[in-house]
Copies of this chain bind each other. A is one copy, B any other.
Amino acid sequence: MALEHAILVSLLEKPGSGYELARRFERSIGYFWTATHQQIYRVLKRMEGDGWVDVREVPQEGRPDKKEYSVAPLGQTALSQWLHEPSGPESVRHDLAVKIRGAAFDDPTALIHEVERHRQTHTDRLAHYLAGERRDFTGPEGPGPPDAGRELQHVVLRGGIEYERMMLGWLDDVLATLHRLASKH
């Protein structure tokens, strides 16, 4: 399992509460690892029990108090160990591909709207990624030391961007195929 490790990475980048982690899993990290707040609270509690993270109660004004988590030495070790062991092939789950093959036994044209909907979400995400790239990764690299973290975050973001571009191209191919099938009958 790797949710624990994703949380460790996020907390190393910046300590925060379960709620804040949940928000991050809807944004940056969520682009390659999804998790709900229930899942996060559950795992965080286990990690606390295992001594992977430290907790600090932070009283707040005007809003509920929060528990700020940060990575403990044991967590560092666990992460390092995980980084050094090979990870298997990722399991894939593409509803849309199943639907496209299933459409052969139903009305293929009925899928056009669904595919267009997906196309829209990928367009939006691409725009969002590109905005993030412009915001965080343009300008001079600075005269200081080359920031490894920054470079690595950037290359992951580039992966997201390429993924969205690939998907848009493929979805156009899918739409063209569906339209061809529609006109041929």
| A interface list, Cβ under 8 A from B | 2, 5-6, 8-9, 12-13, 29-34, 76, 79-80, 82-84, 86-87, 89-106, 108, 110-111, 114, 117, 121, 146, 148-149, 151-156, 158-159, 162-163, 165-166, 169-170, 173-174, 177, 180-181, 184
Contacts and interface: CB of A to CB of B under 8 A. Distances in A.
B181 A151 contact: yes
Contact of A6 (B98, B104, B169): B98
B97 A110 contact: no
Contact of A79 (B102, B149, B156): B102
Nearest to A5: B98
B156 A97 contact: yes
B169 A95 contact: no
A83 B111 contact: yes
A173 B148 contact: no
24 contacts: A2-B95, A2-B98, A5-B98, A5-B99, A6-B98, A9-B102, A32-B98, A76-B105, A79-B106, A83-B106, A89-B121, A90-B93, A90-B94, A90-B95, A97-B159, A100-B155, A101-B156, A103-B152, A104-B148, A105-B149, A148-B181, A151-B177, A163-B166, A163-B170
A6 B163 CA distance: 24
Contacts of A30: 92
- Which 8 A-B residue pairs are closest in the complex by CB-CB distance? A104-B149, A32-B97, A32-B94, A166-B166, A87-B95, A9-B102, A34-B91, A155-B177
B148 A97 contact: no
Contacts of A8: 102
B152 A173 contact: no
Contact of A155 (B29, B110, B174): B174
